Structure 1
């Protein structure tokens, strides 16, 4: 059998390991992506690692998440990030230039390259035939420093696409169909590779929509071939020289297979509060809506805004609905305006916001309690919108625009109007003035980091003790997201560079007493269900609980990125061997692990004793020898410091 594209990309970048699913491998990283909600920690980690200059082909720092400047905190962090880019040799994308993923695709994405990004939606770059993987910030810092990226070799899940999308269905409905079939855990430890004749009917930005939300399936990455659609996209961006044809072999083999006939895809919507809670729009038609938001990295293309503008053109949004438009990049906003579509949106009653993530990360546009918000976003985890008791639905731009007109969730096929025929420009309005290039090496070496008072030092975590005897401070259910561990939103995110202050928000979405109880208790354990830590890659969800005394998390299973982040910052991630043991543990139980170094190094299984109930449970870990050393040392940074020749 022939090779699939994902295996070709891995093989061409393989540094260590065997390409057997589940086996540890290391791959060379060509590019990195960081954004401002995670980048400040990455820059502090580069400083802690003693980096002189970035050793990747391209590394770019974007300012796209924390754009609201209600006080000085976000502005000071932007200055810090720009100074760090000058010091370490990274590109800097200024505030308002655009959301990292579509902007990177427009300006830096190259077929066949690998990329590590400190954002879980980094996988969107797979639309261009890249192998792009979302990871924690420390992995990105190490990649910038020239180290390979370590991961478990994923299975490759081939999804064959045939047919063509019908009117009123679009790429968002395709990925919602995959989520409807397989849920938020369906892609765990897998790369999703789309292939088949239906791929050719999707533009590069359509593919971005699908690849972006592979993260919601828990997938390691998503890959599309680089074909005529990718060539046309790069030509339109003035970068045709970067194009290369990439495809799977005609007889490519896949570890798992699925098939979607695009002609059968109907308008879909994800109900609150999970991207996997997907139903046909007609099943929930008539549900009142008070807010419609169009934008985000999940629907970032010019087409996505233009089709909504065409639906709204000459019509007025329902008086009960607030329509908000978040342009995904300044370039796309310029092209939308040249088309006249921006004026159609304004005339319909829509509010136009700056180019950035905005409401997707809860940075503004928070909905009212008890009212439905319909969004073209990738996530609707509880509280992510900035409203603790939110009701957020996910949909396509077509469904969003139709619902804005009627004031209720509406299948766009039922509007009774003709599907818009769009004429999009072949050449984009390319403007690189808001991208600041790296300084020459000699000049960069003289740069100093600009630190505002809200930027704390990285916490200095001590080594784990050889014996852990601590209480269970919190017990959680399945699919707890990093938004619920360390929240997004305008209240918390301005403190992302101030770990002591950010720690006050830890687990606030699920238990607002956790932070104060953790400060009183000190060392403790958290118990959780399946897929613990799904969603955002933010390291803060590992760092702030660790700062508050978290020694271990015992879960039925972990999301990939968060599991890695826990290991990086000295938190022991353990899984139940017998899932029923989860039910035997209660909050307040005191658990003990004796001779921890020997227990971890003697094999993947160990036993923990519940002193309170006089019971033992069998657990397992998936840590490599170097990760065991890191956890015991208090994290990867102290482990690396121990091994430096000059220490």
Structure 2
């Protein structure tokens, strides 16, 4: 699928070992928008060329040392700007701009999550981003693909985060490294198989977000009926394009996983291992928890937030535990508020915090002691936290300690609203 996306945009053979000049559909600036803009101006930028060019200026809590908002500078060059309060870049872009069978270049590896909607994202240096803004093209080395076959169906209280952990635990990184070494090309993960159709676009995004962690440049799901329904709910039906691998398409490796065999897992980021120790949640059962952070960047789906609100209804946060809620996007926050689920979470004892990117780095709301800190968001930099699924976090809030969420015994049934708020109040065009 990655080859098909690049083939219609490349000025040369899409499987060549040398770099080819490729047309870009979207440019997404997150980590250092000013530097990319400066590179674009140096390359002759007047007005951004790609069909979507957007800068995320999402620092919500500013201090005197923080740079001024970049809205005026970016808007003058034809870029849209997502301002503070819009949400974390990956889930916001998935909802409002993610489009199947398109190519986006960015400075944020976490945007690999956009592969859940069938969009290939590629992290490139600031100079390449500036050239893409000015000329609408960038030079990339065509990737090789690893097919990830999914079978079966997720069991109750097992989430997409657990599946992502299972792939890391099975050394998907080793397979990627072997293909990179043998082909001397970057690698894209392509998810497929009968189990993929049971996953929502948001769950697919969580799986695609694992790509940078295993050394892949990106990840892709095909664009199917689920994708079309997702775009229709976002009132962006015109963005839909079909995307599927051709019969007999060449893959460097094929790996498979039965979704029904995955158990609830946790990742102890503070362990000595470079990737963190991934173990079944039962191995940490009974350990006290002092902080829980629900949400974050590609941390939880809207359905999972509803599940947590239902599981915790009429319960209260234990003494000594901080329950933080960082809604991934403003759209999700609005839906939670309109449905009453947000009121239920607040009644439980949740503290609503702003979607500031420094939450992932630990600069805001650092883990307190002496208990463990649980989060659904993958941290950046040194952090002593445990990453887990939303259902595992719900169990921790209910009991004050880590435990297997299957102890709830009775799965909850939730209905996620299909009518979603699509007014981009915090996106300036």
Q: TM-score range by the shorter chain?
A: over 0.9
Q: CA deviation at 1:392?
A: 0.9
- 1:369–1:42 CA distance, 2 compared to 1 (3 A): farther
Confirm or deny: 8 A CA contact 2:91 2:298 kept in the other structure.
no
Q: Distance in 2 between matches of 1:209 and 1:255?
A: 23
Partner of 1:393: 386
Q: Distance in 1 between matches of 2:410 and 2:132?
A: 49
- 1:186–1:318 CA distance, 2 compared to 1 (3 A): farther
Partner of 1:260: 257
Residues 62-104 of structure 1, C-alpha deviation per residue, up to 9 Å, x if partnerless? 122x2212x2333x431xx111212211011111011111111
Q: Distance in 2 between matches of 1:96 and 1:357?
A: 11
Q: Distance in 1 between matches of 2:318 and 2:217?
A: 40
Structure 1 residue matching 2:205: 3-state secondary structure: helix
Of 3, 6, 27 in structure 2, the residue corresponding to residue 7 of structure 1 is 3
Confirm or deny: 8 A CA contact 1:17 1:26 kept in the other structure.
no
| 1:364 has 2:359 as partner | no
Residues 462-516 of structure 1, C-alpha deviation per residue, up to 9 Å, x if partnerless? xxxxxxxxxxxxxxxxxxxxxxxxxxxxxxxxxxxxxxxxxxxxxxxxxxxxxxx
Partner of 1:77: 68
Q: Distance in 2 between matches of 1:318 and 1:342?
A: 19
Partner of 1:619: none
| 1:247 has 2:240 as partner | no
Confirm or deny: 8 A CA contact 1:326 1:354 kept in the other structure.
yes
Confirm or deny: 8 A CA contact 1:275 1:380 kept in the other structure.
no
Q: CA deviation at 1:183?
A: 5.8
Q: Distance in 2 between matches of 1:57 and 1:16?
A: 22
- 1:286–1:183 CA distance, 2 compared to 1 (3 A): farther
Partner of 1:621: none
Of 408, 413, 416 in structure 1, the residue corresponding to residue 401 of structure 2 is 408
Structure 2 residue matching 1:145: 3-state secondary structure: helix
| 1:49 has 2:38 as partner | no
Confirm or deny: 8 A CA contact 1:183 1:277 kept in the other structure.
no
Q: Distance in 1 between matches of 2:187 and 2:266?
A: 24
- 1:13–1:241 CA distance, 2 compared to 1 (3 A): same
Larger radius of gyration: 1
- 1:30–1:368 CA distance, 2 compared to 1 (3 A): same
In the TM superposition, what are the counterparts of 1:423-502 in structure 2 within 5 Å? 423-437=415-429
Q: Distance in 1 between matches of 2:356 and 2:221?
A: 25
Confirm or deny: 8 A CA contact 1:371 1:391 kept in the other structure.
no
Q: Distance in 1 between matches of 2:322 and 2:415?
A: 27
Higher RCO (CA-CA < 8 Å; seq separation 6+)? 2
Structure 2 residue matching 1:374: 3-state secondary structure: strand
Q: Distance in 1 between matches of 2:217 and 2:246?
A: 22
Partner of 1:204: 201
Q: Distance in 1 between matches of 2:25 and 2:300?
A: 24
| 1:132 has 2:121 as partner | yes
Partner of 1:378: 378
Residues 546-567 of structure 1, C-alpha deviation per residue, up to 9 Å, x if partnerless? xxxxxxxxxxxxxxxxxxxxxx
Partner of 1:543: none
Residues 514-561 of structure 1, C-alpha deviation per residue, up to 9 Å, x if partnerless? xxxxxxxxxxxxxxxxxxxxxxxxxxxxxxxxxxxxxxxxxxxxxxxx
Q: In the comparison of the two structures, how many residue pairs are matched? A: 418
Confirm or deny: 8 A CA contact 2:100 2:119 kept in the other structure.
yes
Q: CA deviation at 1:422?
A: 1.0
| 1:177 has 2:166 as partner | yes
Of 1, 17, 24 in structure 1, the residue corresponding to residue 19 of structure 2 is 24
TM-score, normalized by length of structure 1?
Answer: 0.62
Partner of 2:101: 112
Confirm or deny: 8 A CA contact 2:111 2:209 kept in the other structure.
yes
Structure 2 residue matching 1:168: 3-state secondary structure: coil
Q: Distance in 2 between matches of 1:156 and 1:293?
A: 34
Structure 1 residue matching 2:45: 3-state secondary structure: coil
